[in-house]
């Protein structure tokens, strides 16, 4: 694996030019998901403890670590995890704890499907993906690995010293199971806490499961405050039914919820 070292925002990263996903994008552009990054930078505070689920090779975790007290970075794929650790060492971060496991509905083991786009790994089985997404996925499929699986509630109980003030996840459709296994954590998070979820509504076949996930989030006291995609911030003030919008009428947005 021949890596390129590049300055990204205000930190350094080793990037793999053979990776067809985040690696190539950061080498070419020096940033990704510009609108989501801008919102993240505005809401991060020094007192925060952040749980980053699907930390990948570190892009968001490093944005967080520059501004907050502690980051719990969860990444199940061996390739990504090793590069994440290498990038942490490159920057000398001492406030990022790493965990090689996946978060899901319940604790146990799972198969995670890997991709030549390293940020496309998922524990969602092909039969549960939309046909369009499954076809796009197959163009980049790589293989699979067996990983330890913990529910969100079990992870927080086992590994975090303090309840997270912000949970961020980009997990290629597994967000439905993660939220289902984290209802207690979401309820216990303090007022002012954030939940940031990339909702893969165009990728998940069972749309009712997305609606049920949103019910858990709203039931825990969170409200939707921002929705962005790769191109812009969406005008949620003009959307009459945000639950319907996020379930059926938008692709894969980054959604910011606040308690």
Provide the CATH number for the domain around residue 163.
3.40.50.150
Cβ atoms < 10 Å from Cβ of 127: 7
pLDDT < 50: residue spans in the chain: none
Decide if 23 is inside a domain.
no
How far is Cα 131 from Cα 135, in angstroms, rounded to an integer?
6
Decide if 70 is inside a domain.
yes
8 Å CB contact between 170 and 52 = no
How far is Cα 115 from Cα 106, in angstroms, rounded to an integer?
24
Decide if 1 is inside a domain.
no
Number of residues in the chain = 259
Decide if 3 is inside a domain.
no
DSSP 123: -
- Residue numbers of the domain that contains 160: 32-258
DSSP 252: S
How far is Cα 215 from Cα 120, in angstroms, rounded to an integer?
26
Decide if 7 is inside a domain.
no
How far is Cα 69 from Cα 194, in angstroms, rounded to an integer?
15
| Sole residue written with tokens 């998070």 | 189
Q: Which is nearest to 73 in space by CA: 56, 90, 87? A: 56
- Looking at residue 134, its pLDDT comes to 87
8 Å CB contact between 72 and 84 = no
- Looking at residue 196, its pLDDT comes to 98
How far is Cα 141 from Cα 128, in angstroms, rounded to an integer?
16
8 Å CB contact between 103 and 155 = yes
8 Å CB contact between 259 and 193 = yes
Number of domains in the chain: 1
Which residues make Cβ contacts (< 8 Å) with residue 28, sequence separation at least 6?
A: none
Pair of tokens at residue 35: 């609108």
Decide if 21 is inside a domain.
no
Burial category of 135 from C-beta neighbours within 10 Å (exposed 0-12, middle 13-18, buried 19 and up): exposed
- Looking at residue 137, its pLDDT comes to 87
8 Å CB contact between 107 and 151 = yes
- Looking at residue 206, its pLDDT comes to 94
Decide if 22 is inside a domain.
no
Q: Which is nearest to 54 in space by CA: 225, 196, 246, 201? A: 196
Decide if 16 is inside a domain.
no
Partners of 71 in beta bridges: 50, 96
**Phi, psi at residue 65, to the nearest 5°?**
-60, -30
pTM given for the model: 0.96
């Amino acid at each position: 694996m021949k890596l390129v070292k590049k300055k990204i925002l205000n930190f350094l990263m080793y990037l793999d030019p053979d990776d067809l996903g985040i690696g190539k994008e950061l080498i070419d552009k020096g940033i990704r998901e510009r609108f989501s990054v801008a919102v993240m930078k505005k809401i991060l505070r020094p007192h925060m403890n952040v749980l980053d689920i699907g930390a990948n090779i570190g892009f968001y975790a490093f944005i967080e670590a520059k501004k907050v007290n502690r980051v719990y970075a969860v990444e199940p794929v061996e390739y990504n995890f090793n590069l994440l650790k290498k990038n942490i060492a490159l920057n000398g971060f001492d406030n990022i704890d790493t965990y090689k496991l996946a978060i899901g509905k319940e604790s146990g083991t799972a198969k995670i499907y890997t991709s030549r786009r390293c940020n496309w790994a998922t524990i969602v089985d092909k039969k549960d993906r939309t046909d369009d997404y499954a076809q796009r996925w197959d163009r980049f499929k790589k293989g699979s690995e067996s990983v330890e699986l913990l529910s969100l509630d079990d992870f927080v109980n086992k590994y975090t010293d303090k309840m997270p003030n912000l949970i961020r996840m980009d997990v290629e459709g597994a967000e439905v199971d993660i939220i289902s296994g984290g209802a207690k954590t979401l309820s216990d998070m303090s007022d002012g806490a954030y939940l940031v979820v990339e909702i893969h509504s165009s990728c998940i076949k069972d749309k009712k499961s997305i609606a049920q996930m949103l019910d858990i989030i709203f039931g825990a006291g969170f409200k939707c405050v921002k929705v962005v995609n790769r191109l812009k911030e969406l005008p949620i003030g003009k959307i009459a039914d945000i639950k319907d919008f996020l379930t059926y009428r938008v692709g894969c947005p980054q959604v910011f919820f606040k308690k």
